[in-house]
Structure 1
Amino acid sequence: MVIAMLVGCIIGIDRNMRGKPTGVKTLGLVGLGSCLVTMAGAGFALHGVAGSDATSRAIQGIVTGIGFLGAGVIVQNAATDKIRGLTTAASIWVTAALGIVCGVGAWSIALIATFLFMVLLILGRIAEHALHRYWLAKPQEHRDAMIENEE
C-alpha cells in the first residue's frame, strides 16, 4: 500500500511542478485506492471464498458508481481557469475502497490504509504548497515555455 501511494505521489510531484490540477495528494490517493480494490479482489481469488464472483461484481459496481459521485465535486472555474475538487473526488474513491476492504473483513488493511490516507492528506498539503511556491517563483515566460514543451 505504501509503495502504491508513493508511486502516485512521485507522479503527483511532476504534475505539481508543471502546474497541472492533479498533484501529490490526488495521485497518491488514486494509487492507494487502486491498491486497496485490487487487494480486496485478489483476496477472494486467493482464498476461494464462496460467492466471490458476486462479490467481485459488487466491487466493480461500487468502483464504477463512486466515480460518478466523485465527478460531481470536480468544478472548473472558467474565469480563473482553475480546477477544484480533484482531491475530494479521489478521497471519495479511496473511502469507497476502504469500505470495500472493511466489507471483506480486512480490518488491519483498512486501518493501515486509513492512517496512510490521513498522512498523505497532511504531508501532501505541505508538499504541494512548497511546490506551488517553487512554481510561482519562476518567471511567467519560463512556465509558459515548460507548458508548451510538454504539449
Structure 2
Amino acid sequence: MIDYSEFLVRVGAAAFCGLLVGIDREAKSKPLGARAYILTSAASAMWIIITLNFSLQVNGLEDDLNVDPTRLIQGLVGAIGFLGAGAIISTTETGRLRGVASGAAIWGVGAIGVACGMGFVLEALTLSVGYVVVLNLYDWIVGDEDDASPPS
C-alpha cells in the first residue's frame, strides 16, 4: 500500500511537473492555463494511487477477484484526450488549427501524472523538462505554433 506521506510526495511531484509545463503555456496565453496542467497532472496521479491501493487491498482479500490497475490508465488516456480536444476548437484566418500543442501538452501532462502516481517521479520530472524544452525550442527555431506566417 502507498501510505499517506508517499501519496503527498507523488501528488505534489505531479502538481509541480504540471506547473512546469503550465507556466510555459500560461505565459504564452495558450488555450489552457497553468491550473489546467497542474490539476490534470495531480488528478492523474491521485487516480493511479487510489487504484493501486484499491487493487492491492482487494487482491489481498478476495481470491476470486482480480483488479487490473492498468485499465484506469486506458480510461485516463481517453478522458484527457477530450481535454486536449477542447483546446483545439478554433482555427486561424488561414484555416490552421490553434491549440494543437496545448492539446498535446495536456495529454502528455496526464502521462506525467500517471508516472508520478506509479512512483516514477524522476522520469516524470525529466519528461516535464523535455516538454518545456520542446515547446520553447520549437518556437525559437520556427516561430510561434499559432503564427500563420513563416518566421522572418
* TM-score, length basis structure 1: 0.50
